[in-house]
Amino acid sequence: MFSATYSQTIEYLFSRLPLFSRIGAAAMKNDLNNITALCNFLGNPQQQLKSIHVAGTNGKGSVSHMLASILQTAGYKTGLHTSPHLKDFRERIKINGEVVSKEFVIEFTERIKPLIEKLNPSFFEISVAMTFEYFAQQKVDIAIIEVGLGGRLDSTNIITPELSIITSIGMDHTNLLGDTLEKIAFEKAGIIKNEVPVIIGEFLSETKPVFESIATKKNAPLIFATENRNAIGWTWEKHKLSVEVEEKNKPDHKLYELDLLGIYQTKNLLTVIESCAALNRVGIKISDSAIAHGLSHTKKITGLHGRWEIIQEHPLIILDVAHNEDGIIQLIRQIEITDFHQLHLVIGFVKDKEIDKILQMLPQKATYYFTQANTPRAISSIDLKVKASNLNLLGDAYTSVNIAIQAAKSKASSKDLILVCGSVYLIGEVT
């Protein structure tokens, strides 16, 4: 019997360790020394795992969950590490859709406390070490490891995976990763390992040479997903996205049904299909039927939330974790194909986003509800309202996302759309 409860353990981790969601860049460690020391202490559990490493500005969470769903459907005991969590820390560490046990979190934290006091690691470093230890103990067949931020210096980057995946490159975390697409691509491409195949989901003229150069130096087979397949059409209903995909030099098209409803998932789908083909080549066998079932049941199998997630109809209330320029562009495209009378936007951001640029993208013909997540990194709802009003985005400020949603519901008609977005932490507080 352990002396600490789960809630006491989580409070210790949150209060003792630098936490990115609370303090931002100050929580970042610019080297891999701590995670290396932590894993050495544990006997290097990451070396006992077959893994898939997933980086990218947008899409890495969706791709990780789709792959986890497919691999679990194919019969593999599948570990999934993602961040941040929405409600409970344990969401970060799952095996076959089940979160890590409270008992393991308690036991691991007690065991590692002496090293915490010695190294003063970040919250993320401890969570990654905990993930590797749990997956090794539970003997997973394959672990999908989502990068936290960047890639080259991310704590997850001490694994040698079977496959590396980079979903997309966009302008986000520029204060940490660099202020150009080339610099950001260089950081993401830091996950490319010697002779390990790498899939690139989306690329730009600025980023393609970066990937090619690093892959060549590492002798890593480089595959651009969109050069082998193309999404040639899609149909969208409230609870299903159907995508028609053509493969290069093959006459037959394939139709895939996804339970992740955002049309931006068409890009992630191509990345996932190409990744499955690459996994088959390295001996991780995945049938077409496992791909089809996994894609159509991703939310059910993995518990993924916050990707164009419908939580109510009449009025339609949707949650989406879009929080940077590229994400907002995709979100606006989705809004444009959605049927509604009036748009109500409940938004809140953290301070280190390009808030002014994002606000300039948002539609003026909407009623706004400015709010904030319960984190010191959040821009206050009042300050956000002032910034937005300068761009003729009009609405009131609210102290919490749930109060803002209630205000929107009181004003909306049954045929309106209430969209909540802007911060992962904001979505996590919706009740």
Confidence check: pLDDT of 1 > 50: no
User: What was the pLDDT predicted at 175?
Assistant: 59
For the chain, give the percent of residues with pLDDT over 90.
81
Confidence of residue 353 (pLDDT cuts 50, 70, 90): low
The residue assigned the tokens 């290069």 is: 248
Confidence check: pLDDT of 217 > 50: yes
Share the mean pLDDT of the chain.
93
Token pair of 49, please? 């795992």
Segment 311-352, tens digit of pLDDT: 999 999 999 998 888 889 999 999 998 999 999 999 999 887
User: What was the pLDDT predicted at 377?
Assistant: 84
Query: Which 3-state string (H, E, C) describes the chain?
Result: CCCCCHHHHHHHHHHHCCCHHHHHHHHCCCCCHHHHHHHHHCCCHHHHCCEEEEECCCCHHHHHHHHHHHHHHCCCCEEEECCCCCCCHHHHEEECCEECCHHHHHHHHHHHHHHHHHHCCCHHHHHHHHHHHHHHHCCCCEEEEECCCCCCCCCCCCCCCCEEEECCCCCCCHHHHCCCHHHHHHHHHHHCCCCCCEEECCCCCCCHHHHHHHHHHCCCCEEEHHHHEEEEEEEEECCEEEEEEEECCCCCEEEEEECCCCCCHHHHHHHHHHHHHHHHHCCCCCCHHHHHHHHHCHHHHHCCCCCCEEEECCCEEEECCCCCHHHHHHHHHHHHCCCCCCEEEEECCECCCCHHHHHHHCCCCCEEEECCCCCCCECCHHHHHHHHHCCCCCEEECCCHHHHHHHHHHHCCCCCEEEEECCHHHHHCCC
User: What was the pLDDT predicted at 260?
Assistant: 95
CA atoms within 13 A on the CB side of 83: 20
Confidence check: pLDDT of 192 > 60: yes
Please state the rounded mean pLDDT for residues 279-289.
Answer: 97
Confidence check: pLDDT of 28 > 80: no
- In terms of DSSP bridges, do strands 51-55 and 253-258 run parallel, antiparallel, or are they unpaired? unpaired
Confidence of residue 23 (pLDDT cuts 50, 70, 90): very low
User: What was the pLDDT predicted at 351?
Assistant: 84
Segment 46-80, tens digit of pLDDT: 999 999 999 998 899 999 999 999 999 999 999 99
Domains of the chain: 6-302 (3.40.1190.10), 309-428 (3.90.190.20)
Contacts of 283 (CB under 8 A, 6+ apart): none
Please state the rounded mean pLDDT for residues 126-144.
Answer: 98
Whole-angstrom distance, CA of residue 325 vs CA of residue 332: 11
Segment 158-187, tens digit of pLDDT: 999 999 999 998 766 555 676 789 999 999
User: What was the pLDDT predicted at 216?
Assistant: 98
User: What was the pLDDT predicted at 4?
Assistant: 87
Confidence check: pLDDT of 428 > 60: yes
**What does each C-alpha distance from 166 to 56, 115, 185, 331, 348 come to in angstroms?**
5, 32, 9, 21, 27
